[in-house]
Amino acid sequence: MNRHAGGANALESRIAAQLDQFRKDAVYKTFNYLDSPQAPRVEMEGRGRVLILSSNNYLGLSDDPVVMAAGKAGIDEFGAGTASVRFICGTFTIHRDLEVACARLVGTEAAVSFVSCWNANEALPGTILTDRDIILSDQLNHASIIDAMRLAKSITKCETGVFRHGDYGDLDRKLADAHDRDVKIVVSDGVFSMEGSIVDLPALLEVCRKHGALLWLDDSHATGVLGERGRGTAEHFGLHGQVDIITSTLGKALGGAAGGFIAGSAALCDYIMQRARPQLFTNALPATVAASALAAIEILEAEPERVARLRDNTAYFRQGLVRLGFRPLPGDTPIVPVILGETAAAIRMSQLLLDEGVFVTGFGYPVVPQGEARVRCQISAAHTREDLDEALDAFARVGGSLNLV
Ligand code: PLP
């Protein structure tokens, strides 16, 4: 037998065994196929019309006619794709316009777009750090930040560390130990996506400033969501313009298509354009997506009432759940998790809700800690009160049948 065939067989059988184990452990994911745009109600293959409470379409812009028309106009003006890398074959004016808008929104001098926030996060530390620097990350930060730190450590030999979630005493000690490092960067999610909690930005900034550390905030679940005008975590705390580096996504509240950005000083963004490998060695965001995202930002700027509606809807749904006897994790964001304990319980609840026509995803270990499996509801400004009442009725029925309330 040739060696390649042997290797392929070994891989196939290992993968097959692991997939079997996922099924036995009830952690095998099934994928629900949709036949319509992301909206409060979607067409789900095999199920028909389903009310969706598990998308990041916080402002209802995914199927907004203006956002969709901008995408169509983008394809007419710039074509289907970018056909290479920005510095090699030219960079479209729509990317520059989008980056100006991103920087304006989050309150920095400049921004650089990427095909996703995953890419933006991955690009940042590995490009700017050296072996004389350190980066410290909140324990519950998003997977893309965890991987970005691993990559940065391997590329640059920078020191990396993790501080306990939201424990700025721990961070303070770790920064004190790192006093001899040239550059110190602290990174935190603005909104923690599995908890729906908001970082204590004033406290975090104070510790960073005390030690001369730069703060990098990933505002993916906060952009378009927090603050009076949806400008994110910093606006929520009256600190707009005071965070050193912000990364965020265009794939959630801002139209929900794809894309992300790094926002910071003009020099930082210039350096990222010069040196970041996920900028230099891959195609830019398709122009159609950039055009939709730009339209989404302009709508957000012109219609802050969408953010207010999102806040009202969230409060309404949270209060409804509490009235029914559920105890969602407390918070002010449109991410509303209900802890159920074991993974199987979360998956069961999400299946029963889907049988009721309500799509809410269950999350278990290893996405969340063992014993803290949950269903996570996400509210949109586009949900009507009827939508939310219907979801609450489904929660009442399913919660009753599972003896949860
Ligand atoms: N950062 C955070 C905090 C996220 O929640 C996500 C998406 O789940 C990302 C980054 C990745 O965003 P994108 O889908 O643009 O890659």
Distance, CA 220 to ligand 1 centroid (Å)? 6
Instruction: Provide the pLDDT for residue 27.
Output: 78
pLDDT score of 8: 84
154 is an active site residue = no
CA pair distance 193, 374, nearest whole angstrom: 12
Best residue among 249, 289, 361, 363 to mutate for probing ligand 1, ranked by most atoms within 8 Å of CB: 249
Shortest-distance atom of ligand 1 to CA 141: 3
Q: For residue 318, is it left (φ>0), alpha (ψ between -120 and 50) or beta?
A: alpha
For residue 162, give every residue at least 6 positions away whose Cβ sits within 8 Å of its Cβ, in sequence order, or none: 136, 137, 138, 139
Distance 152 CA to ligand 1 centre (A): 18
Catalytic residue of the set 174, 221, 236, 240: 221
Instruction: Compute the distance from residue 150 Cα to the ligand 1 centre, in Å.
Output: 17
Q: Residues lining ligand 1, judged by CB closer than 6 Å?
A: 116-118, 121, 142, 144, 189, 193, 218, 220-221, 249, 251, 260
> Helix, strand, coil % (nearest 5) of the chain?
45, 15, 35
- Give the single-character DSSP code of 100: H
Choose the residue to mutate in 38, 57, 118 for probing ligand 1, maximizing ligand atoms within 8 Å of C-beta: 118
Q: Is 184 a catalytic residue?
A: no
Decide whether 24-53+304-401 matches 65-302 in CATH topology: no
Confidence at residue 357, expressed as pLDDT on a 0 to 100 scale: 97
pTM: 0.96
Centre of ligand 1 from the C-alpha of residue 182, in Å: 29
Atom of ligand 1 nearest to the CA of 258: 15
Whole-number CA gyration radius for the chain:
22
Count of CB atoms situated within 10 Å of the CB of 55: 19
- How do strand 191-192 and strand 335-341 relate by DSSP bridges? unpaired
Q: Which atom of ligand 1 is nearest to the CA of 219?
A: 3
Beta bridge partners of 339: 374
Residue 103 CA: distances (Å) to CA of 99, 238, 243: 6, 17, 12
Distance 39 CA to ligand 1 centre (A): 20
For the sheet with 358-359, list strands across it: 41-44, 48-52, 358-359
Q: Which of 193, 197, 248, 380 is labelled catalytic?
A: 193
Please choose, from the candidates 386, 382, 392, 335, the residue with its C-alpha nearest in 3D space to the C-alpha of residue 361: 335
Compute, in angstroms, the gap from residue 115 CA to the centroid of ligand 1. 11
116 classed as catalytic: no
> Whose alpha carbon is nearest atom 12 of ligand 1?
117
Catalytic residue among 95, 174, 252, 383: 252
Beta bridge partners of 184: 134
Give pLDDT tens digits along the chain (405 positions): 566 677 889 999 999 999 999 899 877 888 999 999 999 999 999 999 999 999 999 999 999 999 999 999 999 999 998 888 999 988 999 999 999 999 999 999 999 999 999 999 999 999 999 999 999 999 999 999 999 999 999 999 999 999 999 999 999 999 999 999 999 999 999 999 999 999 999 999 999 999 999 999 999 999 999 999 999 999 999 999 999 999 999 999 999 899 999 999 999 999 999 999 999 999 999 999 999 999 999 999 999 999 999 999 999 999 999 999 999 999 999 999 999 998 888 989 999 999 999 999 999 888 888 899 999 999 999 999 999 999 999 999 999 999 898
Domain boundaries, the chain: 24-53+304-401, 65-302
In words, the CATH class of domain 65-302 is alpha beta
DSSP class of residue 34 equals B
Rounded to whole angstroms, how far apart are CA atoms 110 and 346?
42
Q: 24-53+304-401: which CATH topology? A: Aspartate Aminotransferase, domain 1 (3.90.1150)
HSE, CB side, 13 Å, CA atoms: give it for residue 185: 25
The tokens 């060695």 sit on which residue? 281
